[in-house]
Structure 1
Amino acid sequence: MRSLFVILFFICFCPFFVNPLSPSLNDDVLGLIVFKADIQDPDGKLSSWNEEDDSPCNNWVGVKCNPRSNRVSDLVLDNFGLSGKLGRGLLQLQFLRKLSLAKNNFTGSISLSFAQLSNLRVLDLSDNGFVGSIPSDLFSQCGSLRSISMAKNKFSGPIPEKLGSCSTLVSLNISSNQFSGSLPLGLLSLSGLRSLDLSDNMLEGEIPKGIGSLKNLRAINLRNNKLTGEVPDGIGDCLLLRSIDLSRNSLSGWLPSTMQKLSLCNDLVLAKNIFTGEVPEWIGEMRSLETLDLSENKFSGQISDSFDKLQSLKFLNVSMNALNGSLPEAMSNCANLLCFDCSHNYLTGGFPSWVFKLGLQQVLFSDNGLSGSIENAFASSKENSRKKLLILDVSQNKISGEIPFAVGDFESLQLLNMARNSLTGSIPAKIGQLKSLSILDLSENRLNGSIPSEIGLITSLNELKLEKNSLEGNIPVSIGNCAALISLSLAHNEIIGSIPTSLAKLSYLQIVDFSFNKLTGALPKQLANLVSLQLFNVSHNQLQGELPAGAFFNTIDPSSVSANPSLCGAAVNRSCPTVLPKPIVLNPNSTDAAPDTIPQSFGRGKKILSISALIAIGAAAAIVVGVIAITVLNLRVRTATSRSAVALTFSGGDEFSRSSSTDGESGKLVMFSGDPDFSTGTHALLNKDCELGRGGFGAVYRTVLGDGRSVAIKKLTVSSLVKSQEDFEREVKKLGKVRHANLVGLDGYYWTPSLQLLIYEFVSGGNLYKHLHEKSSETYLSWNERFGIILGAARGLAHLHKMNIVHYNLKSSNILIDGSGEPKVADYGLARLLPMLDRYVLSSKIQSALGYMAPEFACKTVKITEKCDVYGFGILVLEVVTGKRPVEYMEDDVVVLSDMVRGSLEEGKVEECVDSRLQGKFPAEEAIPVMKLGLVCTSQVPSNRPDMAEVVNILELIRCPSESQDELGDFV
């Protein structure tokens, strides 16, 4: 075996010696081995790199050689989980043409001079943790480089001026870093540059006036910097430009008229700057435009009639400017328009009749001065256009008249907002035909009549806002069929009658506001079952009786129930009248025994008790005995728990240093790293306010260690099933060695025979379930965030499977999101701690979220393997993309998510399954293959499901299809 010392000696001192061995035996093999020695490879991805091999060209993973010279030409180690700093071993690869180390965990500054790699064409160091400035000599000799990507790192300082010496550069991407200073003029000498991405940095100053010298430029992205000044006239000389993104800067002035020469431009995004002047007439000459975003600027004047020339336009956003006048009729010629947002301007005139003829998916006209009726616009709509409209927001205008009856024909609507207008009449019953509607807001109008019972047909409804109208009648009982309802506001109306008991069926309900109405009767006791309630306002009504008894109602804000003179309870500071039972009357002088009495002797006289009286007395005695027994048991449990907590306070140790002995009193605490003072956190075990949640294995609490570090403590509630201490510790220590960026780390444990605790890292961002299903529509996850969560969860699971650990309990509530938006898989491997749990207990207790469970759980003859996790992951993928729960209960049906998506795929409508909040904001070329992958993972036959390593590769190909389009196969 070659000595590593010899290898290192050779690499370090080879410039001073003539190479005595052939290049294939030394430069490449030894260079790669030294590179490997300098880094960490936790997943063993580079295990095929063997220093005994004479050449790396045969089976070394990530290595590709030139067949003629037998020298390494490509080194592609993307997403290998590698970490550490880049060593000098790479400089021995003198024939290297492509170096790609993207999506790893490399850190430190760049100290190598890639100028020594004279044949290098492609350099990709993106998506790592590199820091510091780029050395000035890094690009001192880069005449052969064609593509440089250092995106998504933490580089800082100025962009090197010497980048201008890379004369053959075609693509430069250094986005998502912390570069500062001005744009270097050296970039203007890159005459062959086609793509320039400097977005998401801290660059300042003006865009160089000589930018017109980049004649071959196809795409320029300077989004989200601190650039100032005007857009230079020279940009119009870049005639090949197809994409321009200058958004989120402080650019000002008028747009240069030279831009009209950019006839090939598809995307022009100038949002969130301070551009002034009128929207230029010449913009109609940019006839290839598909996306035009001028939002959040200071444009004034009217929308130009020249927009009718933009026949390819799909997305038009001119919102949040100072535009006035009416919407031009000429825009009816924009036949391909899908999304039109002109909200938050000063537009006037009538509602345009052509809007619903175009087949638009999103119409956003809110906060303007549009007036008149919208009846004609609805009546003139075409049938095929009605099926396409997803979002209609005309709120905060001056629209009058009634809500058109034809609104019910727009069956695909997911958001309908007509709030803050002057609408009159009643809510049409046909609105119940909008089966896909998630948000209905008709608040602050002049609507009258009763709420139609057909509202209960909209089972997908998340938010219903009808406040500040003149609505009458009762709250329809059918509202209880809106199973997905989260927010319900009927405040400031004239509604009468009682609150229907059916409201208690809405388990996701968080906000209820019935204030300022004329409601009567008692509050249904069943409302105490609404565990998600955050606000329940019934103030200023005529309700009576006692408040429901429950966690929320026990602490309800008194203002939420005020001005109901007949309501009673602690919240209104009014005692409820006590109802006493009829007393039992005994006649000691009676000698007649009734048929239902028996004689009893009390002292000297005889008293006759009826059978019913004896039963009552016996029942009372049983209740007293039960209360006493429960009290004693609770005292014992609290004492035992307190002893454990006290023991925990004084126990501690490092697995590799010390740990206290185990006995019935003190217990044993082991921390896998460090020796923090745990005593400051023990109160959390008994403090309900510190509880984060409960699951199949037990409750989880947040606490802070003595060193200031937050941790999450899982207190197992299945102690009777836990293994012996020896087996328990062996399994927990195995889990403690599992370390991955997408897995929640286990930091330690605590053991007594009656109490077991698992100590995890604390993840601050909550779980995925809450992000998908419990947050308001204003804070929904973007497509990039969802894709990142899916990919991160897949990587975490793949790492678990590599260590022969099956999760068993994958679901969205077990995917945590950290402060930077990265997913972390939690609750993995716990089933191995409980040998008495068979698959049926697992499926009923642990796999509590119906829909994630693989079908083999129901069959004793089928082995439970990692493919069960793959099935659950497939369901998770569909849940993330669609925003729907794995199983949803309708009035007369149960909708299984995987069946729904599979049916839509067969009908060619799978794109309609994507979360309504993402409409128009997701790439179909990614979303559809991801859903197909989810369906493949949910195959009924385990062997037909891919393994998680394959899933990760497929997801990466979906995100970057150009790298290997053929490998996507049927997923595209």
Structure 2
Amino acid sequence: MQFGYFLFLLFAPILVISTDPAAFNDDVLGLIVFKEGLKDPKAMLSSWNEDDETPCNWVGVKCDPTTRRVSALVLDGFSLSGHIDRGLLRLQFLQVLSLSRNNFTGTITPDLPRLWSLQLVDLSENNLSGSIPQEFFQQCGSLRSVSFARNNLSGKIPDSLSSCSMLATVNFSHNQLSGELPSGIWYLRGLQTLDLSNNLLEGEIPEGIENQNDLRELSLQENRFIGRIPEGIGGCLLLKSLDFSDNFLSGRLPDSMQKLSSCTSLSLQGNSFTGGIPDWIGGLKNLEILDLSANSFSDWIPKSIGNLDSLNKLNLSRNQLTGNLPESMSNCIKLLDIDMSHNKLSGHIPSWFFKMGLKSISLSWNNFTKGNIPALSSTSTSYFGLQVLDLSSNAFSGGLPSSIGGLSSLQVLNMSTNNISGAIPVSIGELKSLFILDLSDNKINGSIPSEIEGLISLSELRLQRNFLTGRIPTQIDKCSSLTSLNLSHNKLAGSIPSAIANLHNLQHMDLSWNELSGSLPKELTNLSRLFSFNVSYNHLHGELPVGGFFNTIPPSSVSANPLLCGSIVNHSCPSVHPKPIVLNPNSSGSNSGPSSQNRRHKKVILSISALIAIGAAALIITGVVAITLLNMHARHSMSRSAAPFALSGGEDYSCSPQNDPNYGKLVMFTGDAEFADGAHNLLNKDNEIGRGGFGVVYHTILRDGRSVAIKKLTVSSLVKSQEDFEREVKTLGKMRHQNLVALEGYYWTSSLQLLIYEYLSRGSLHKLLHDENKKAILSWRQRFKIILGMAKGLAHLHQMNIIHYNLKSTNVLIDCSGEPKIGDFGLVRLLPMLDHCVLSSKIQSALGYMAPEFACRTVKITEKCDIYGFGILVLELVTGKRPVEYMEDDVVVLCDMVRGALEEGKADQCIDPRLLGNFAAEEAIPVIKLGLICASQVPSNRPDMAEVVNILELIQCPSEGQEETE
């Protein structure tokens, strides 16, 4: 708002108007009428009194000192709600109207610009809905700045916008505006700032931008724009900030961009730009931020990048860049943040790289193979500011430099997945600010130094998959901020220190696959925040603790410790029974002989055993009853939580959650949002068509006759906040591809979230392959079409930097033309964090499709996991068999079976017998081999999906181009 008000001060004309008392009363009347339609919970407008002769002393009201007429109404952040009343139209000399950061609802009043002196309108950060009215800009007079940002506006940007020749600032960002940009948008010759980011705008960016001689800021990020950047962009000579990120733009960067010598920020990430990074980039001498990440740029990094001596942030990650880091980069003396991760860079890291005074360095997921990690001099001031150092997933060797403790400001140190050897230097304890330490998947040996107690800020410690020996140091309890501890797959010995129980913030602990012995400390039950726990494959013994998280952990968490006992492992602990009653052998009576005594002895023991059994049975019955009652209560609660949506047809779903917590927000990206049978039938059990790890799916019909599938998410306790949820869902809604199931809309309340998808009546690939009641059999040509289509859909997801995580045959749907569509993609983005434990609990039904990496709880999950699942799907389609099949005396793993047959030269015997020889062997065998390569145990051996598509197109026989009808 301050910027807008400065505009008002710059452009406000000097007015000389008569001071008619009646005019003062007109201002008072207009504001009082406006106030009457508002809710003012904080009494911010208490000074507004209708008996006053002038409103000039009211809160939020400013008057012209000469005329004493209201010139500005600034009520930003007053927590006001209600509609923007037409009473404001009485303020005939109003120049600034700023109502941002409130809770105004309803639509935009089209008559506001009738106030001929109005120069600035800021209605941002409210809950306004509907479309932007055409009339608003047909009478815009002297309007110079308008902002409707962060509302719920929909529809198209009105063509009349181009008629407001005085406009200098336009901000419609963070809404749901759709359609194409008006072709006359560039007729606004005085335009200085245009922000249309975070909407659903589409089509190509119209030509004519070269006419914008005054344009300083252009933000079109997070929309659906396609095509190339207009060649005329170079005509915007005063442009300082250009942001086209997260769209679907493609092609090479136009050469005219080299004329943007005034540009300080250039953000093009998340598109599909190709070719090399142009050499002229070094001519943009004023650049401070350059972000070209997540595109398809290739070739070497140009040496001219060293000319950017004003650059402080450089992000070239997630491209296909090759070669070395250019020596010229040492001239970028102001560079603070550099991210070159996920490329194909190679060679060694030059010594000067660590002497540039950088704060953040990320070179992960490259091919750096030469030399050791550079030594870090503890006396060099260049290192003192380094906060993030990520060199993971390369091939560095040698040991960690002993001087690493000199990085006193370091917060994140990630050296995982390299070939680092030697011991952890004791100087590691000097990193008092360290938040994350990840040295996993290396060859580090020796013990964990006790100096680790110095890491007082440490939240995550990942040392898994090394060769560490010795004991877990008791001093680890000094790391009181620890939330995640992973020491798995080492050779640690000794007992688990009870001091770990002092880590009260611990949420994840994995000590599996070591040589730990002794019993589990009972104090561990005090870890109230622990979410996942694993001590499997050790030498632990004794009774498992009872209480706390130990009451709910799965048996796999403590498996392969044969001497552990307790109900979790189904192994009773030896206990001391009460001594049996021994009868006096000298007592008289007919039953006093030795045989009689033994019989009585057995009878007493039998009675005690019977009592124990009866008591155990009673406890089991009580538990079953309790669980049943809890389930009934849960179902009752879920039905109540769904109640706000289960209304009769025609109800208003647009009510704001801030106004009424019982109502949610229903958004359709396209089309009508009404349901033909009313919402009361929407979540009917009879309409259920599927279930999965993330929710239940129902079928319903929209008012316009369209069928849609509704997924009711059952992870409400894990779903992010509404703002995060809507941002992620909008991103998924932009994912349009012929081989992806389209997301049509969503519904949100704090207790109920629905996703609305296109409906595919033919069902899933799993149903077509394995449903015995299906009469039709997929031909080889149809199967190949499905394989190729899945590959294209998955390649598109990966190009957009989305990992599926849950690829399986039930999540691949087939449309009426036989084209596959991948569904349920990106749902893990709705979780608060991509935690392995959470993921495994949500995708446990994907048995056989999950890559081996999922077994390593903190190994970074990448798109290679999807490629593994794709490989299994390929084998499933070719063979017609499930990934894992349970026989009477054996378990058959599809991947192992096919690999064995291939090694024996019998691959053709794996092909689905239902094809009866009607398949192209010259296609089928290479496809089998491709499936096995994709399902390799080693992630780096799996090809990228773009490569898979190319391979499949090469495999496809030219004579088979004509597809069969289904």
Is TM-score (shorter-chain normalized) higher than 0.5? yes
Structure 1 residue 150 and structure 2 residue 85: aligned?
no
Q: Distance in 2 between matches of 1:457 and 1:294?
A: 39
Alpha-carbon offset, residue 765 of structure 1: 8.1
In the alignment, residue 567 of structure 2 is paired with which amino acid? A
Alpha-carbon offset, residue 477 of structure 1: 1.6
Q: Deviations over 1:271-327 (max 9, x none)?
A: 101111101111000011111000100000111111111111111000000011111
Q: Deviations over 1:884-941 (max 9, x none)?
A: xxxxxxxxxxxxxxxxxxxxxxxxxxxxxxxxxxxxxxxxxxxxxxxxxxxxxxxxxx
Q: Deviations over 1:771-810 (max 9, x none)?
A: 9xxxxxx99x99xxxxxxxxxxxxxxxxxxxxxxxxxxxx
Structure 1 residue 527 and structure 2 residue 536: aligned?
no
Alpha-carbon offset, residue 464 of structure 1: 1.1
In the alignment, residue 54 of structure 1 is paired with which amino acid? E
In the alignment, residue 398 of structure 1 is paired with which amino acid? A
Query: Which residue pairs with 1:471 in the alignment?
Result: 468
Give 3-state SS (helix, strand or coil) of 2:135's partner: coil
Contact 2:376 2:404 in 1 (8 A): no
Q: Against the structure 1 CA distance between its residues 280 and 403, is the aligned structure 2 distance closer, same or farther, given a 3 Å change threshold?
A: same
How many pairs align? Answer: 621
Alpha-carbon offset, residue 338 of structure 1: 0.7
Contact 1:24 1:55 in 2 (8 A): no
Query: Which residue pairs with 1:321 in the alignment?
Result: 319
Query: Which residue pairs with 2:29 in the alignment?
Result: 30
In the alignment, residue 62 of structure 1 is paired with which amino acid? G
Query: Which residue pairs with 1:263 in the alignment?
Result: 261
Give 3-state SS (helix, strand or coil) of 1:228's partner: strand
Q: Distance in 2 between matches of 1:299 and 1:367?
A: 16
Q: Distance in 2 between matches of 1:343 and 1:378?
A: 21
Give 3-state SS (helix, strand or coil) of 1:430's partner: helix
In the alignment, residue 330 of structure 1 is paired with which amino acid? S
Q: Distance in 2 between matches of 1:689 and 1:380?
A: 64
Structure 1 residue 283 and structure 2 residue 281: aligned?
yes
Q: Against the structure 1 CA distance between its residues 84 and 289, is the aligned structure 2 distance closer, same or farther, given a 3 Å change threshold?
A: same
In structure 1, runs of 5+ residues without a counterpart are 1-18, 590-627, 636-641, 643-682, 692-700, 711-738, 746-763, 772-777, 783-815, 821-972
Query: Which residue pairs with 1:548 in the alignment?
Result: 545
Query: Which residue pairs with 1:294 in the alignment?
Result: 292
Q: Distance in 1 between matches of 2:201 and 2:752?
A: 25
Give 3-state SS (helix, strand or coil) of 1:492's partner: coil
Query: Which residue pairs with 2:353 in the alignment?
Result: 355
Contact 1:357 1:381 in 2 (8 A): no
Q: Distance in 1 between matches of 2:642 and 2:139?
A: 49
In the alignment, residue 97 of structure 1 is paired with which amino acid? Q
Contact 2:453 2:478 in 1 (8 A): yes
Contact 1:356 1:382 in 2 (8 A): no
Alpha-carbon offset, residue 51 of structure 1: 2.5
Query: Which residue pairs with 1:615 in the alignment?
Result: none
Alpha-carbon offset, residue 705 of structure 1: 3.9
Query: Which residue pairs with 1:792 in the alignment?
Result: none
Contact 1:191 1:213 in 2 (8 A): yes
Give 3-state SS (helix, strand or coil) of 1:431's partner: helix
Contact 2:171 2:196 in 1 (8 A): yes
Q: Deviations over 1:489-543 (max 9, x none)?
A: 1111111111111111111112111111111111112112111222221111111
Give 3-state SS (helix, strand or coil) of 1:392's partner: strand
Alpha-carbon offset, residue 584 of structure 1: 11
Q: Against the structure 1 CA distance between its residues 390 and 165, is the aligned structure 2 distance closer, same or farther, given a 3 Å change threshold?
A: same
Q: Against the structure 1 CA distance between its residues 520 and 100, is the aligned structure 2 distance closer, same or farther, given a 3 Å change threshold?
A: same
Contact 1:114 1:139 in 2 (8 A): no
Query: Which residue pairs with 2:40 in the alignment?
Result: 41
Give 3-state SS (helix, strand or coil) of 1:108's partner: coil
Q: Find the partner of 1:708 among 628, 637, 643.
A: 643
Alpha-carbon offset, residue 466 of structure 1: 1.1
In the alignment, residue 708 of structure 1 is paired with which amino acid? A
Alpha-carbon offset, residue 42 of structure 1: 3.3
Q: Against the structure 1 CA distance between its residues 259 and 504, is the aligned structure 2 distance closer, same or farther, given a 3 Å change threshold?
A: same
In the TM superposition, 1:134-213 aligns within 5 A as 134-213=132-211
Q: Deviations over 1:173-218 (max 9, x none)?
A: 1111111111112221111111111111111111122111010011
Query: Which residue pairs with 2:439 in the alignment?
Result: 442
Q: Against the structure 1 CA distance between its residues 424 and 684, is the aligned structure 2 distance closer, same or farther, given a 3 Å change threshold?
A: closer
In the alignment, residue 165 of structure 2 is paired with which amino acid? S
Alpha-carbon offset, residue 157 of structure 1: 1.2
Alpha-carbon offset, residue 475 of structure 1: 1.4
Q: Against the structure 1 CA distance between its residues 483 and 250, is the aligned structure 2 distance closer, same or farther, given a 3 Å change threshold?
A: same
Structure 1 residue 121 and structure 2 residue 56: aligned?
no
Alpha-carbon offset, residue 707 of structure 1: 7.7
In the TM superposition, 1:8-87 aligns within 5 A as 23-57=22-56, 59-87=57-85
Contact 1:356 1:378 in 2 (8 A): no
Alpha-carbon offset, residue 373 of structure 1: 3.2
Contact 1:356 1:381 in 2 (8 A): no
Q: Deviations over 1:312-360 (max 9, x none)?
A: 1111000000011111111111111111100001111012212210111
Q: Distance in 2 between matches of 1:314 and 1:507?
A: 39
Query: Which residue pairs with 1:89 in the alignment?
Result: 87
In the alignment, residue 159 of structure 1 is paired with which amino acid? I
Q: Distance in 1 between matches of 2:538 and 2:175?
A: 57
Alpha-carbon offset, residue 81 of structure 1: 2.3
Q: Find the partner of 1:558 among 536, 555, 559.
A: 555
In the alignment, residue 43 of structure 1 is paired with which amino acid? K
Q: Distance in 2 between matches of 1:385 and 1:520?
A: 45
What is the Cα-based RMSD across aligned positions, in Å? 3.7
Give 3-state SS (helix, strand or coil) of 1:33's partner: helix
Q: Distance in 2 between matches of 1:536 and 1:684?
A: 24
Q: Distance in 1 between matches of 2:477 and 2:583?
A: 50
Alpha-carbon offset, residue 111 of structure 1: 3.7
TM-score (norm: length of structure 2): 0.60
Q: Distance in 2 between matches of 1:382 and 1:142?
A: 63
Alpha-carbon offset, residue 23 of structure 1: 3.8
Q: Against the structure 1 CA distance between its residues 181 and 242, is the aligned structure 2 distance closer, same or farther, given a 3 Å change threshold?
A: same
In structure 2, runs of 5+ residues without a counterpart are 1-17, 587-614, 646-655, 663-714, 729-748, 754-966
In the TM superposition, 1:211-610 aligns within 5 A as 211-375=209-373, 377-379=374-376, 383-580=380-577
Q: Against the structure 1 CA distance between its residues 486 and 189, is the aligned structure 2 distance closer, same or farther, given a 3 Å change threshold?
A: same
In the alignment, residue 519 of structure 2 is paired with which amino acid? A
Contact 2:377 2:406 in 1 (8 A): no
Alpha-carbon offset, residue 767 of structure 1: 12
In the alignment, residue 47 of structure 1 is paired with which amino acid? S
Contact 1:301 1:324 in 2 (8 A): yes
Contact 2:384 2:408 in 1 (8 A): yes
Q: Against the structure 1 CA distance between its residues 555 and 133, is the aligned structure 2 distance closer, same or farther, given a 3 Å change threshold?
A: closer
Q: Distance in 1 between matches of 2:128 and 2:627?
A: 38
Alpha-carbon offset, residue 372 of structure 1: 2.9
Give 3-state SS (helix, strand or coil) of 2:250's partner: strand
Alpha-carbon offset, residue 242 of structure 1: 0.8
Contact 2:199 2:222 in 1 (8 A): yes
In the alignment, residue 363 of structure 2 is paired with which amino acid? F
Q: Against the structure 1 CA distance between its residues 500 and 352, is the aligned structure 2 distance closer, same or farther, given a 3 Å change threshold?
A: same
Alpha-carbon offset, residue 66 of structure 1: 1.7
Q: Deviations over 1:822-843 (max 9, x none)?
A: xxxxxxxxxxxxxxxxxxxxxx
TM-score (norm: length of structure 1): 0.59
Query: Which residue pairs with 2:788 in the alignment?
Result: none
In the alignment, residue 493 of structure 1 is paired with which amino acid? N
Seq. identity, % = 52
In the TM superposition, 1:471-870 aligns within 5 A as 471-580=468-577, 687=630, 705=640, 708=643, 741=658
Alpha-carbon offset, residue 587 of structure 1: 11
Give 3-state SS (helix, strand or coil) of 2:328's partner: helix
Alpha-carbon offset, residue 28 of structure 1: 1.7
In the alignment, residue 559 of structure 1 is paired with which amino acid? S
Q: Deviations over 1:654-696 (max 9, x none)?
A: xxxxxxxxxxxxxxxxxxxxxxxxxxxxx999859989xxxxx
